[in-house]
């Protein structure tokens, strides 16, 4: 067999393994969905069951491309939030579902509630800021990122997003400094490096 033939065979094996892996994951998620539904039908009293069901439905929608599952996911997560209004995890997942359903304002409300529910969760503050930036509200996004950075000043993702919103407001030199801080915190942060190069291209040559 030629090297091209061996290469083609290797690609086919890799593709088959990936397909089997995806099918297995879908099967596991479907089994989880069924189990959560049984638990809820039997009267599960806490937010854990609807939260788990909502998250499993979201992952199933992502893997299968079946967007009809997203509304069911949102309904279950809303039920979890109703049972535990300060559960940051349910709120953050609900935010992700709304974003998948192209409901940015509702995603933002859930993200803001998650950050309020768990004020020491840097990821929640980052998500809140990112959704604000997606809506073009960069001043507010910056404030959300800064709250997270007070908890962890070396969080590269927060620094990168802060720099991006700073650049969007036209403060390019400040953005460069913040991107450099993000790269110092995580030298492998590809988005920070790419954005740093992009912003520098708009600055006058020294």
Token output for 152: 């962890």
Token output for 133: 């930036």
- The verdict on 6 and 99 lying in the same domain is yes
Last residue of a domain, one of 89, 115, 141: 115
- The verdict on 3 and 86 lying in the same domain is yes
- The verdict on 76 and 89 lying in the same domain is yes
Task: Note the pLDDT of residue 89.
Answer: 93
Task: Note the pLDDT of residue 206.
Answer: 62
Q: What is the mean pLDDT of each run of 10 residues along the chain (206 residues)?
A: 50 58 86 92 90 95 94 97 94 96 96 96 97 96 98 98 98 97 98 97 83
The sign one gets for the Cα dihedral 106, 112, 113, 115 is: positive
Task: Note the pLDDT of residue 13.
Answer: 45
- The verdict on 7 and 102 lying in the same domain is yes
H or E element: which one contains 129?
A: helix 122-134
Last residue of a domain, one of 93, 115, 137: 115
Task: Note the pLDDT of residue 22.
Answer: 81
- The verdict on 10 and 28 lying in the same domain is yes
Q: What is the pTM of this model?
A: 0.83
* Per-residue DSSP letter, 203: S
- The verdict on 24 and 101 lying in the same domain is yes
Task: Note the pLDDT of residue 196.
Answer: 97
- The verdict on 70 and 125 lying in the same domain is no
- The verdict on 88 and 3 lying in the same domain is yes
Spatial distance between the Cα atoms of 125 and 21, rounded to a whole number of angstroms: 33
Q: Which domain holds residue 15?
A: 1-115
Cα torsion for 98, 100, 103, 105, to the nearest 10°?
70
Cα torsion for 135, 137, 142, 145, to the nearest 10°?
-30
- The verdict on 123 and 111 lying in the same domain is no
- The verdict on 149 and 107 lying in the same domain is no
pLDDT tens for each residue of 68-81: 999 999 999 999 99
- The verdict on 146 and 61 lying in the same domain is no
Domain containing 24 — which CATH number? 1.25.40.10
* Per-residue DSSP letter, 143: H
Last residue of a domain, one of 65, 81, 115: 115
Residues 144, 55, 52: CA angle, nearest 5 degrees: 115
- The verdict on 82 and 177 lying in the same domain is no
Domain count, the chain: 2
Task: Note the pLDDT of residue 10.
Answer: 42
Distances (CA, A) of 38 to 33, 50, 176, 202, 206: 9, 11, 53, 58, 66
Task: Note the pLDDT of residue 186.
Answer: 98
Nearest in space to 169 (alpha carbons), one of 202, 197, 134, 142: 142
């Amino acid at each position: 067999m030629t090297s091209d033939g061996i290469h083609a065979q290797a690609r086919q094996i890799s593709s088959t393994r990936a397909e089997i892996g995806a099918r297995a994951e879908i099967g596991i998620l479907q089994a989880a969905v069924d189990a959560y539904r049984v638990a809820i039908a039997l009267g599960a009293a806490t937010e854990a069951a609807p939260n788990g069901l909502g998250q499993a439905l979201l992952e199933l929608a992502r893997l299968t491309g079946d967007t009809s599952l997203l509304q069911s996911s949102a309904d279950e997560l809303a039920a979890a939030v109703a049972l535990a209004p300060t559960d940051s995890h349910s709120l953050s997942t609900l935010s992700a579902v709304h974003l998948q359903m192209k409901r940015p304002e509702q995603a933002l409300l859930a993200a803001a509630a998650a950050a309020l529910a768990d004020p020491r969760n840097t990821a929640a503050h980052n998500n809140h800021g990112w959704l604000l930036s997606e809506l073009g509200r960069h001043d507010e996004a910056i404030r959300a990122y800064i709250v997270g950075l007070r908890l962890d000043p070396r969080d590269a993702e927060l620094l990168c997003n802060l720099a991006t919103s700073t650049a969007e407001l036209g403060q390019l030199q400040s953005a460069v400094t913040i991107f450099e801080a993000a790269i110092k915190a995580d030298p492998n942060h590809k988005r920070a490096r790419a954005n740093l190069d992009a912003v520098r291209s708009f600055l006058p040559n020294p």
